[in-house]
Every structure is written in structure tokens, then in C-alpha cells.
Amino acid sequence: MGTDDMIAQLAADLTPVRPVAPWRRTISWLLLAMALIAGMVAWHGFRPDLHERMLMPAEQVQWLASVIAGVLAALAAARMAEPGRSEAWALLPLPAVIVWLTGMGWGCLADIARIGPAALTLGTSWSCLGFIVGLGVPLLGILMFLLKDGASLRPGPVSALSGLAAAALCSAGLSLFHHLDAILMILVWHGMAVALVTGIGAVSGRLALAR
């Protein structure tokens, strides 16, 4: 059999392979994450001072920025899971994260001006940490599973961005029903929880996806 005939025979029964579209899976994940978080908000009910707090520009900015940071981090993770994509996609959520942290910092200063030294009182909020980590880690795992086909190319950035996406969205949802006395506590406890979930993603995801 000639080479051309052999190639033609081997290719005769081949069916087109549908390429993986990580961004489609990521959009499905975003819808799932938002549905679960909305369900938790509905279960607990809105915090009594939500309307008052949301009238403050700093609160509006930091909440919207946390949502945008979560969405952009998820989309960046999807792009990073595609072969040939630039590593600059990892920077996509960075502006939103900066605005988010800046909004928290500005809100902390506003609280100091509004209520004085009491704004600097730092209590404990294990429920805050527990919610973001408890819901964020499963959402991180789901997104990493959806992106596993291409994520092994860049396991560290993809898993870290997945953790950031899950934690940021959980933090935004928590802000709607969980009351904290001062934004300094939000900055510390939300920030600690977001950093923890992102770190879990960066470490465990690198090991799991690389394998």
C-alpha cells in the first residue's frame, strides 16, 4: 500500500474533535457560583444596615470591585488554561483587586472619621473566615476540575486565579448578609480569607494539575 493510500484509509473514519472552550466552562462556573452565593444570601437574609452602608461610596466601590475581581479572575484563569495564550492574562483582575483594596482602605479612614478610635477595634470573626473558605474551596475545586484539560500547562497561575475568583465572589456575597462593626475588620478578615483560598489554590492546584 502506498503512503498516500494508507493516510487516506486511516483518515477516512476520523471524526472532527471538538476543541475545548475553557471560557464556556468558566461562564457556567460563574453562573453556578453566583447561584450558590445568592442562595446563601437568601437563606441568611440581608444585613439590617445594608442600605445605609451601600449609600457610602467606599462600600459601593469595594463591593463592586470584589465582584468584578472575581469575574475577571475566573475569565483570566480560563484564558491561561488555553494553549498559546499570553501570560499577561494573569494581570486581568489586578486593577479590580487594587480598587477593591483601595476602597476598603478608604472606608477604614471614613470609619475613623465617623466613629473615631472605635473603628480601629479589631475583634474576631471566625464565621466570616469560615464562610469564604468553606464555600470558596469547593468552588475553587470545581473550577479547577472544569479547566483541568488545559490547566496543566500553567497549573500555578490557573489555580491561583481560580482561588481568587472563588474567594472574591464569596467575599462579595458575605458582605450582603454578614455584619461587621467596622470596615477594618472587613479588610482584615475578608482579606485573610481571600488570601487563604488563593494560597490553597496556588499550592494544591499546582500539585493536582501538574499530576
- In this prediction, residue 1 carries a pLDDT of 61
- pLDDT number for residue 80: 86
Ordered by start, the domain boundaries in the chain are 21-210
What is the rounded distance in angstroms from the CA atom of residue 58 to the CA atom of residue 103? 5
Reported pTM: 0.79
- Please state, in angstroms and rounded to a whole number, the distance separating the CA atoms of residues 89 and 74: 11
pLDDT for the residue numbered 169: 92
CA 55 – CA 87 distance, rounded (Å): 38
Check: CB of residue 136 under 8 Å from CB of residue 163. Answer: yes
Specify the amino acid at residue 110.
A
CB of 184 closer than 8 Å to CB of 62: no
Taking a C-beta distance cutoff of 8 angstroms, is the pair 172, 66 a contact? yes
Cα 8 from chain centre: 48
pLDDT at position 133: 85
Cβ atoms 101, 206 nearer than 8 A: no
Q: What is the pLDDT along the chain (211 residues), one digit of tens a residue?
A: 677 677 667 667 666 655 556 778 888 999 999 999 999 989 988 888 788 777 877 778 888 998 999 999 999 998 888 877 888 998 999 999 998 888 776 666 666 666 666 655 665 566 777 788 888 889 988 988 888 876 667 788 888 899 899 989 988 888 888 765 556 566 666 677 778 888 887 777 666 655 5
What is the tally of helices (H) and strands (E) in the chain?
10, 0
Q: Cβ distance 195 to 154 under 8 Å?
A: no
Cα–Cα dist 31/43, whole Å = 18
Query: How far is the C-alpha of 104 from the C-alpha of 109, rounded, in Å?
Result: 9
pLDDT for position 19:
56
* Residue 129 grid cell: 473566615
- Per-residue b/e over 162-172, b at no fewer than 16 CB within 10 Å? bbbbbbbbbbb
